[in-house]
Amino acid sequence: MQKTFFIVILFLITLLSSSCNIEDKYAPINEYANIDLSQVPYNNLSDYKFFTGEMNELNPDQGVYSYNVTSPLFSDYTSKERFIYLPEGTNMEYQGDFNVLNFPIGTIIIKNFIYYKDIRDKSLGRTIIETRLLVRKETKWKPFSYKWNDEQTEAARLIVGGTVTGSTIAENGNLKEIPRYVIPRELDCRTCHNLNEDMLPIGPKPANLNRLMADDLSVNQIENFVEQGILSGTPANISQVPDYRDTSLDPITRGKAYLDANCAFCHRQGGTANANGLFINWDYEGEGIHTGIFKIPTNFNAPDLQYDIVPGSPDESILLYRMTQTQAPDVMPQIGRSINHDEGIEIIREYIYNIE
């Protein structure tokens, strides 16, 4: 009897071991890591499993797609690496050249803020300062911020914001020291991401995505999304917001593109600054006072200055004055910048000078 019982137990152990081996054999090597929205936000960035290998290398895992914009927002000379996480089996939908894509529930837009030692030679090293997430929950978008540790091994959630120091050598070879880089409070994100009282993404609109891939200049980014099956409904021709860094463009085009990237998220119809009446988004079709020309600000007084823009006279224009300031209430944009963007100031100086 005991011998029979021993044989049965041995058979069951063998069967169980064989079953486990079969499961391991056919288990996916890189299983799609669907994120449980009910558990978001996680305390640590690593819990999302966005990246494979060493996390600070920012190598996207399955379901995470890199992207770039034609005209980037200036953020104290940081570089940015952007990604979109899409739940398995979902895709983004086109809803107009200048409207943000329609993202499925569960989408997470990922933006990493980085200081390279020398932007001209990225192989010299870098420091990731923070990662901001914009998560599409069941009913609305939610912002979450993560600050990276000194070891560059992890980023922890930072609800109340904070400050750090940074430095980088810019494209022109000048060293830029940033004594007080500000990581905004999660609550502050709503200021810029507001459209008609709803919180929405800003950058990923077709006209701002219509560019060549950063790692393959033979492939259009939007066409690549379509080929991968993660974007639907796109027309044959899509508008483009130009890259204001392109010095071959005329001053008016560069100026408008710069304002679209750095100011228009608030200064657009339905934006946070809607009541101000200054609309400088690229696709605004109006003329005259609402574009700032001889427009008197509704809630700001500048010393010895009267109008937002005085055509041909940059130094008489409040718009340029506020770009040269770094302290509230004069600084503009009011969030996301602690030092001047020297190159941007020159772009807008030339823009105003050439307005007729």
Sequential DSSP letters for 158-226: -SS-EEEEEEEE-TTS-EEEEEEEEE--GGGHHHHSEETTEE--SS--HHHH-SB-SS-TTSBHHHHHH
Q: Which helix (H) or strand (E) holds 326?
A: none
Residue 20 scores a pLDDT above 80: no
Residue 7 scores a pLDDT above 50: no
More confident call, 12 vs 298: 298
Peptide bond into 251 cis (omega under 30): no
pLDDT in tens, 51-87: 999 999 999 999 999 999 999 999 999 999 999 999 9
- Provide the percentage of residues in the chain whose pLDDT is more than 70: 91
Task: Output the pLDDT for position 6.
Answer: 42
Q: Which residue bears the tokens 């055509």? A: 311
Task: Output the pLDDT for position 32.
Answer: 62
Task: Output the pLDDT for position 15.
Answer: 36
Mean pLDDT of 214-229: 92
Kindly report which listed range (29-38, 151-160, 230-239) carries the lowest average pLDDT score: 29-38
Mean pLDDT of 263-286: 94
Residues paired with residue 115 on neighbouring β-strands, in sequence order: 127
Mean pLDDT of 236-255: 97
Task: Output the pLDDT for position 288.
Answer: 87
Task: Output the pLDDT for position 62.
Answer: 93
Mean pLDDT of 137-165: 95
CA distance 341 to 77: 8
Residue 3 scores a pLDDT above 80: no
Residue 159 scores a pLDDT above 80: yes
DSSP class per residue in 284-303? ----GGGGTBTPPPSS--BT
Task: Output the pLDDT for position 33.
Answer: 63
Kindly report which listed range (21-30, 39-48, 296-305, 340-349) carries the lowest average pLDDT score: 21-30
Mean pLDDT of the chain: 90
Task: Output the pLDDT for position 216.
Answer: 83
Which residues lie below 8 Å from residue 204, measured CB to CB, with a gap of 6+?
67, 69, 84, 100, 101, 109
Task: Output the pLDDT for position 76.
Answer: 97
pLDDT in tens, 166-192: 999 999 999 999 999 999 999 899 899
